[in-house]
Amino acid sequence: MTKSALQIERASYQPKLPDALKGLAKAVEGAPTQSVADQEEIKKMFPNTYGLPIIKFESTTEKVEIPAFNVGVILSGGQAPGGHNVICGIFDGIKKLNKDCHLYGFLMGPSGLIDHKYIELTADVIDDYRNTGGFDMIGSGRTKLEKKDQFDSGHEILKKLNIKAVVIIGGDDSNTNACVLAEYYKAIGTGIQVIGCPKTIDGDLKNEMIETSFGFDTATKVYSEVIGNIERDCNSARKYWHFIKLMGRSASHIALECALQVQPNICIISEEVEKKNMSLNDIVTYIAGIVAKRAEQGKNYGTVLIPEGLIEFVPAVKRLIAELNDFLANNAEEFSHIKKSHQVEYIASKLSKENAETYSSLPSGVARQLALDRDPHGNVQVSQIETEKLLSDMVATKLAQWKEEGKYNGKFSSLHHFFGYEGRCAAPSNFDADYCYSLGVAASALIVSGKTGYMASVRNTIAPAEKWIAGGVPITMMLNMEKRNGEMKPVIKKALVELDGAPFKKFASQREKWAEETDYVYPGPIQYFGPSAVCDQTTKTLLLEQSK
């Protein structure tokens, strides 16, 4: 592997660890837990892994001989900065317990487990990837683990390699899969443990025990750097409105964090749109109103941040998508034979009156995009819906109408951007490098403690790393029942932006000022070397949420 000067320097960075994980750790059990909702149903579905206690690790001087054991690891879902450090933490964690332990990486996600494709991760492999971005050490994939034959095929290779535990590094859907797999292996008495690690740049896998998902820190800093660059260009040319769509399908955490970092003129928060029952026209009128106010000051320029999943939070469109999902799930074969030119008309004829009217009112491009194939988890592929262009076109139409009515006399030219993949494989920030490594070591400690159906947890993360609290949380504690592909399924409940939470309140208190003024902040690139105040800062979101 050819390395850049930065990679060579970063390879020598030793991630910081919580005190409890620096030496031998013992697992201290807390009170039994229950799922966040649908307790009876979840308990019935997970009789062997439900109600487990929260685990906290504490330092111990008690030395125990640990027999050598083997571990498997899977990267699942979209990439997030720091994934390699989780694997490095697992490797170092198990080798510290017994130098004869072995780590195997299953290739290209869960399919590697099912299809028996793997490599042994030796020190030579691991050392090449320390503190690097990407998932290219073993690759990732989106295969959903949900069928008995998949579990049984996985069991064959795990047994052959004498693997004691498998660690699944992924987001809410991937960790739901980990929970299902842990239950199945426990139920049939395989003795194989399953541990999860919380990954997603979207930031929607969090709760009282999982303060943040890894990759969110790095990705939002990467996006904020580029948005800051655009803002500086915007304030230099002073002739364009930049509509910037940001990754985040099911929640607006990325858009909110970037807004707190760069102070744009407008940022739409999907959860607020839903709460206020706003229509597309309401959103467009809000944006156009700010454009017009700035035009009165001679400012025919600005920046607008838009969450990737916004369209799904517009209540009328959300109701449409729910019916559309059911229809497509139940009529996939019939729909596949309809010509593309007739698909919109065909779908409209099959929907309820209200949803048919909403569907027919959408621009044809958006209507077609809503009918595209779902992802493996049954979700609309919102990244393919050009919401930023849709909104800027509708704003342009609204402003032209106002101009005819004498309500607007400015100039409006728009440019469009979508920041998603740019942030997923960035070299991890110091925070993510430390956090991910700690998660990996915590996962190894959960394994040696005999736990299964747990997610590695590291808390108190706005404190210095040595004061972080490491442990594990039962995945069943996070589950609720939701409709997926037309069926009710157990899934980890997504954490949306809380409108009464400190990050949103901070944003809401400033947005009117940011709308009219040009008070941009230019964060610049992630700093890996230098003063701790610059290099080790957390996200604004985490700081606001955790500060008491």
Give catalytic residues, as residue numbers: 202
Short-list 19, 155, 166, 53, CA closest to 477:
53
Short-list 240, 195, 183, CA closest to 94:
195
Phi-psi region of 238 (alpha: psi -120 to 50; beta: other; left: phi over 0): left
**Residue 17: count of CB within 10 angstroms of its CB:** 22
Both tokens assigned to 269: 């928060």
Calculate helix-pair angle for 83-97, 430-448, nearest 10 degrees.
40
164: amino acid identity, one letter: K
β-sheet bridge partners, residue 197: 169
Q: Which residue has the tokens 């849709």?
A: 390
For 431-447, give one letter per residue: b (16+ CB within 10 A) or e: bbbbbbbbbbbbbbbbb
333 CB-near residues (< 8 Å, 6+ apart): none
390 CB-near residues (< 8 Å, 6+ apart): 311, 363, 365, 366
469 CB-near residues (< 8 Å, 6+ apart): 18, 20, 56, 458, 459, 460
Short-list 15, 20, 62, CA closest to 472:
20
**DSSP secondary structure letters along 98-109:** -TT-EEEEETTT
Calculate helix-pair angle for 315-330, 343-350, nearest 10 degrees.
100
Instruction: Report angle CA 478, 479, 481 to the nearest 5 degrees.
Output: 155
Cα 8 to chain centroid, rounded = 28
